A and B are shown apart, each in its own frame.
Chain A
Amino acid sequence: DTEVTQTPKHLVMGMTNKKSLKCEQHMGHRAMYWYKQKAKKPPELMFVYSYEKLSINESVPSRFSPECPNSSLLNLHLHALQPEDSALYLCASSGGTGRNSPLHFGNGTRLTVT
């Protein structure tokens, strides 16, 4: 088991639904990340939070809305998604966005948009 916990493990939603993905870490890390991974592809960075502030948004469509309520929690709010948004959504954390802080990933939420 990883030290980054993501819920739910699986999610099926329609294009008009609103849902949220949740991520929690208790390693005292101060940076948290959302990645998207399509089948047989590497993870792609979506958002970075550093000290609970959004520091990087990789031009992600507004139907994805991140939220960092505190240093241990990270949410990704989903609304009006498209079928092509179906993917594995990975949360990660690190000690900081500095160079000496490797990423630790959760096991992801497998999202299917119908």
Chain B
Amino acid sequence: QKEVEQDPGPLSVPEGAIVSLNCTYSNSAFQYFMWYRQYSRKGPELLMYTYSSGNKEDGRFTAQVDKSSKYISLFIRDSQPSDSATYLCAPGDTDKLIFGTGTRLQVFP
């Protein structure tokens, strides 16, 4: 079993849709969970950073962690074409981040 599993997509949605991106992980010791957004030919950009279980909201983005089921989610409300990118989940400590394979999202006008 891979340490982090993420559906590679691509996921194609219309502008304004609610997007749900998900990852599962296997190591129950993980306590820190990050989501990165990566545009084509750019480096990953930190979107959300959460600790332990629960929700965290930042504007149109909500990160959700369920440690009991080892499941993490990123919700994007009112999606925009500018949200078109690859989204990488990354549970773990800073020097032991395990990146998911990334989900490619395309938001069409």
Contacts of A48 in B (CB 8 A): 95
Given the known interface contacts A31-B94, A99-B31, the answer about A42 and B88 at a Cβ–Cβ threshold of 8 Å is yes
Q: Which of B15-46 contact A (CB under 8 A)?
A: 31-32, 34, 36, 41-46
**Secondary structure class of chain B's binding surface, majority of residues:** loop
**Given A41-B101, A110-B41: A97 in contact with B95 (beta carbons within 8 A):** yes
Q: How many residues of B contact A (CB 8 A)?
A: 22
Inter-chain CA distance A32–B8, complex, in Å, is: 28
**Interface pair B102/A101, CB less than 8 Å apart:** no
Q: In the complex, how many residue pairs between chain A and chain B have their CB atoms under 8 Å apart? A: 62
> Is B93 part of the contact surface with A, judged by Cβ < 8 Å?
yes
B93 and A99: CB pair below 8 A? yes
Could you tell me the distance in whole angstroms from the C-beta of A47 to the nearest C-beta in chain B? 10
* Closest chain B residue to A56, Cβ basis: B95
Residue of B nearest to A101 (CB): B94
Contact between A55 and B44, CB atoms less than 8 A apart: no
Chain B, residues 70-109, CB within 8 Å of chain A (1/0): the string is 0000000000000000001000011101011110000000
Q: How many of A's residues come within 8 Å of B, CB to CB? A: 31
Cβ contact of B43, chosen from A50, A97, A108, cutoff 8 A: A108
20 contacts between A and B (CB under 8 A): A2-B43, A4-B43, A31-B95, A42-B99, A42-B101, A45-B95, A45-B97, A94-B94, A97-B94, A99-B31, A100-B51, A102-B46, A103-B46, A103-B97, A105-B43, A105-B45, A107-B41, A107-B42, A107-B43, A108-B42
Write the residues of chain A forming the contact surface with B, with a CB cutoff of 8 angstroms: 2, 4, 6, 31, 33, 40-43, 45, 48, 50, 55-56, 90, 92, 94, 96-108, 110
Q: Give 8 nearest A-B pairs by CB, closest first.
A: A42-B99, A105-B43, A97-B95, A107-B43, A102-B49, A105-B44, A99-B93, A101-B94
**Which residues of B come within 8 Å of A, CB atoms?**
8, 31-32, 34, 36, 41-46, 49, 51, 88, 93-95, 97, 99-102
